[in-house]
């Protein structure tokens, strides 16, 4: 297996002059990722490293090399520094946590892992990383790839243990899980049923508790092995609408016959402060990209993807993006055009990052409300799910809990070539993937009117009306104050008259 191991990372490393020239992430802990990432000037010559948690075994040199090979394969030709370094730092912890939680499936499936090991031992991650890199290479390069083809290739490479069952259930389950780690289109359950491929069906509230997932995107959360020989986009299509598509949104302004101006997304209509206080929406954090910005008007919830660090990692040239092949194959299947589709995968991840700015960062009341709602997920609550060390994505705290003009947020947006903030956005130009969902959210909010004085005075959707309201209130206040002072003056004058009359009566004999 050693020769194969070298081959897996060879195509990645040969593009780099040296590890030190391209890898510059800080060797810092999880809680320090963002602050360390901001000091990019000092990171130019450091190697990619992640300090292990106290409850995790330190990685060996070989394990670190495999981990870096996977990271380099995902980020392509990007120089790992700044916010990208912090994102790679976070993702390393994320995927290694997944290894540990799925160890009961990895152990019986992969050669080189002891059958009786209850947890990873020193050097075991070399085997697991080689497995994930092989899956990633096939996922990125092979057209119309099927799940069974990946399992067959792993078997041909002599990476799998002999399986007694004909369907090779465990290898199929662990490959399915690894595709979820690499794409974040779904999150495979840790303990699936023996004959099922299952995805998680929970969300995380802002206070850190798990809720059952209610969504229109999924039609089922589990299925058997009947479709493992179909292309991955067909397999995922059996679960629901999981693969992103870029679309043009023609949404006219309602209520005006004979005219159909292009609608725009107004920041004040979809910012968190408006959603929370006017529309009474609650945020639910999800681990599936497919659910980002899904509105549940009945339950009054808005789902948001909770791992922006992954989006930062995946903001890479579409030709190098690990998801581009899947998205193009899916688009070709649904298109009647003879030309090969070119789905802007980089734009997809850029839109998600821009949506955090739209909902939180551009409105001071919104990002301050987020900061109060989730003061320190990592320190105060252990983590959002209280299960792992990677749920608390530090980039989420920056993009949602700080102003878009803050130094940390500006650095992230500058690195991904996002334009200057505006008060409104064209859904076709800025949000070809998520414009429809944002317009649905805005339409939902427009139907709500303030129910109390706080909501009335805080409603900034129509800025001119808001200023008119407040100016009228100021005029009313000063008018009331003037009337009060005039009345007080009359009372004082009357009192003076009475006092003068009393003095006059006393002086008369």
Residues 388-432 have pLDDT tens digits of 444 678 899 999 999 999 999 999 999 998 888 888 899 988 899
Q: Within a domain: residue 125?
A: yes
Instruction: Take residue 354 and report the two structure tokens written for it.
Output: 């821009």
pLDDT (0 to 100) of residue 174: 97
Q: Within a domain: residue 251?
A: no
The predicted model gives 269-282 an average pLDDT of 92
Q: Which of 159, 178, 193 is the last residue of a domain?
A: 193
Within this chain, do residues 186 and 275 fall inside the same structural domain, yes or no?
no
Q: Within a domain: residue 353?
A: yes
Per the structure, the complete domain to which residue 507 belongs is given by 466-509
Within this chain, do residues 345 and 392 fall inside the same structural domain, yes or no?
yes
Q: Is the pLDDT of residue 29 over 50?
A: no
pLDDT (0 to 100) of residue 325: 94
What are the DSSP calls for 348-392, one per residue? HHHHHHHHHIIIIIT-HHHHHHHHHHSS-HHHHSSSSSSS-SSSS
Per the structure, how many domains does the chain have?
3
pLDDT (0 to 100) of residue 1: 43
For residue 491, name the pLDDT band (cuts at 50, 70, 90).
Answer: confident
Q: Is the pLDDT of residue 28 over 70?
A: no
Q: Is the pLDDT of residue 3 over 70?
A: no
pLDDT (0 to 100) of residue 36: 39
Within this chain, do residues 294 and 390 fall inside the same structural domain, yes or no?
yes
Within this chain, do residues 66 and 178 fall inside the same structural domain, yes or no?
yes
CA atoms lying within 13 Å on the CB side of residue 259: 6
Instruction: Take residue 322 and report the two structure tokens written for it.
Output: 């690990």
Cα distances (Å, whole numbers) of residue 83 to 292, 332, 395, 407 = 22, 34, 8, 12
The region of weakest confidence among 141-155, 252-266, 276-290, 334-348 is: 252-266
Q: Which of 193, 215, 242 is the last residue of a domain?
A: 193
The predicted model gives 32-54 an average pLDDT of 37
Q: Nearest CA to 431 among 259, 293, 243?
A: 293
Q: Is the pLDDT of residue 143 over 70?
A: yes
In terms of average pLDDT, the best of 97-101, 464-468, 494-498 is 97-101
For residue 499, name the pLDDT band (cuts at 50, 70, 90).
Answer: confident
Q: Within a domain: residue 233?
A: no
Within this chain, do residues 159 and 181 fall inside the same structural domain, yes or no?
yes
Question: For residues 387 and 389, what is the distance between their CA atoms, to the nearest angstrom?
Answer: 7
Instruction: Take residue 435 and report the two structure tokens written for it.
Output: 């414009």
Within this chain, do residues 388 and 365 fall inside the same structural domain, yes or no?
yes
Question: For residues 174 and 105, what is the distance between their CA atoms, to the nearest angstrom?
Answer: 6
Within this chain, do residues 39 and 177 fall inside the same structural domain, yes or no?
yes
For residue 338, name the pLDDT band (cuts at 50, 70, 90).
Answer: low
Within this chain, do residues 504 and 394 fall inside the same structural domain, yes or no?
no
Q: Within a domain: residue 121?
A: yes
pLDDT (0 to 100) of residue 47: 38
For residue 33, name the pLDDT band (cuts at 50, 70, 90).
Answer: very low
For residue 490, name the pLDDT band (cuts at 50, 70, 90).
Answer: confident
- Rounded (to 5) percent helix, strand, coil in the chain: 50, 10, 40
Q: Within a domain: residue 213?
A: no
Higher pLDDT: 463 or 246? It is: 246
Q: Within a domain: residue 74?
A: yes
Cα distances (Å, whole numbers) of residue 262 to 419, 424, 446 = 21, 12, 16
Q: Is the pLDDT of residue 184 over 50?
A: yes
The predicted model gives 259-278 an average pLDDT of 82
Q: Is the pLDDT of residue 270 over 50?
A: yes
pLDDT (0 to 100) of residue 16: 39
pLDDT (0 to 100) of residue 462: 52
Q: Which of 173, 193, 213 is the last residue of a domain?
A: 193
Within this chain, do residues 308 and 165 fall inside the same structural domain, yes or no?
no
The region of weakest confidence among 19-28, 48-57, 182-191 is: 19-28
Within this chain, do residues 442 and 479 fall inside the same structural domain, yes or no?
no
Instruction: Take residue 119 and report the two structure tokens written for it.
Output: 């947890």
Q: Is the pLDDT of residue 31 over 50?
A: no
For residue 67, name the pLDDT band (cuts at 50, 70, 90).
Answer: very high
In terms of average pLDDT, the best of 34-38, 159-163, 227-231 is 227-231
Within this chain, do residues 177 and 297 fall inside the same structural domain, yes or no?
no
Other C-beta atoms lying within 10 Å of the C-beta of residue 46: 17
Within this chain, do residues 331 and 397 fall inside the same structural domain, yes or no?
yes
Question: For residues 294 and 184, what is the distance between their CA atoms, to the nearest angstrom?
Answer: 16
Hey, is 302 helix, strand or coil? strand
Q: Within a domain: residue 368?
A: yes
For residue 474, name the pLDDT band (cuts at 50, 70, 90).
Answer: low
Residues 6+ apart with CB under 8 A from 276: 282, 369
Find residue 197's DSSP bridge partners.
223
Question: For residues 503 and 508, what is the distance between their CA atoms, to the nearest angstrom?
Answer: 9
């Amino acid at each position: 297996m050693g020769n194969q191991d070298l081959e897996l990372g060879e195509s990645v490393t040969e593009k780099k002059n040296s590890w030190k020239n391209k890898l510059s992430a800080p060797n810092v802990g999880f809680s320090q990722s963002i602050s360390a990432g901001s000091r990019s000037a000092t990171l130019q010559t450091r190697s990619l490293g992640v300090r292990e948690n106290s409850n995790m075994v330190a990685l060996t040199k070989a394990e670190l090399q495999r981990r870096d090979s996977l990271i380099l394969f995902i980020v392509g030709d990007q120089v790992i520094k700044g916010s990208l370094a912090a994102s790679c730092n976070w993702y390393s912890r994320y995927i290694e946590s997944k290894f540990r939680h799925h160890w009961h499936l990895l152990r019986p499936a992969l050669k080189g892992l002891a059958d009786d090991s209850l947890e990873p031992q020193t050097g075991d991650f070399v085997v697991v990383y080689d497995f994930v890199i092989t899956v990633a290479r096939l996922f990125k390069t092979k057209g119309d790839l099927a799940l069974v083809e990946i399992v067959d290739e792993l078997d041909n490479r002599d990476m799998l243990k002999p399986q007694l069952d004909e369907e090779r259930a465990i290898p199929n389950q662990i490959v399915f899980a690894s595709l979820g780690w690499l794409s974040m289109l779904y999150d495979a359950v840790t303990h699936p049923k023996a004959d099922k491929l299952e995805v998680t069906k929970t969300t995380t509230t802002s206070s850190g508790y798990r809720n059952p997932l209610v969504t229109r995107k999924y039609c089922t959360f589990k299925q058997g092995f009947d479709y493992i020989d179909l292309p991955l986009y067909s397999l995922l299509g059996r679960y629901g609408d999981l693969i992103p598509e870029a679309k043009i949104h023609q949404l006219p302004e309602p209520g005006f016959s004979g005219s159909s101006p292009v609608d725009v997304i107004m920041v004040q209509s979809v910012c968190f402060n408006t959603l929370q206080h006017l529309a009474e929406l609650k945020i639910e954090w999800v681990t599936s990209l497919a659910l980002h910005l899904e509105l549940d008007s009945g339950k009054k919830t808005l789902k948001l993807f909770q791992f922006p660090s992954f989006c930062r990692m995946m903001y890479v040239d579409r030709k190098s993006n690990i998801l581009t092949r899947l998205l193009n194959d899916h688009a070709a299947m649904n298109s009647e055009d003879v030309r090969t589709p070119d789905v802007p995968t980089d734009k997809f991840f850029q839109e998600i990052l821009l949506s955090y700015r739209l909902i939180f960062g551009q409105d001071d009341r919104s990002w301050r409300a987020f900061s109060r709602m989730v003061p320190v997920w990592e320190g105060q609550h252990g983590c959002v799910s209280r299960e792992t060390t990677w749920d608390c994505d530090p980039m989420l705290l920056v993009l949602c809990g700080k102003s878009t003009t803050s130094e940390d947020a500006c650095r992230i947006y500058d690195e991904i070539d996002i334009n200057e903030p505006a008060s409104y956005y064209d859904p076709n130009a800025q949000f070809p993937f998520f414009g429809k969902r944002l317009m649905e959210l805005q339409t939902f909010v427009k139907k709500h009117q303030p129910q109390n004085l706080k909501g009335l005075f805080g409603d900034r959707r129509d800025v001119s009306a808001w200023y008119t309201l407040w100016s009228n209130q100021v005029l009313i206040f000063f008018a009331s104050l003037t009337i009060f002072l005039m009345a007080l003056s009359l009372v004082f004058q009357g009192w003076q008259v009475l006092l003068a009359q009393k003095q006059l009566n006393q002086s008369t004999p």
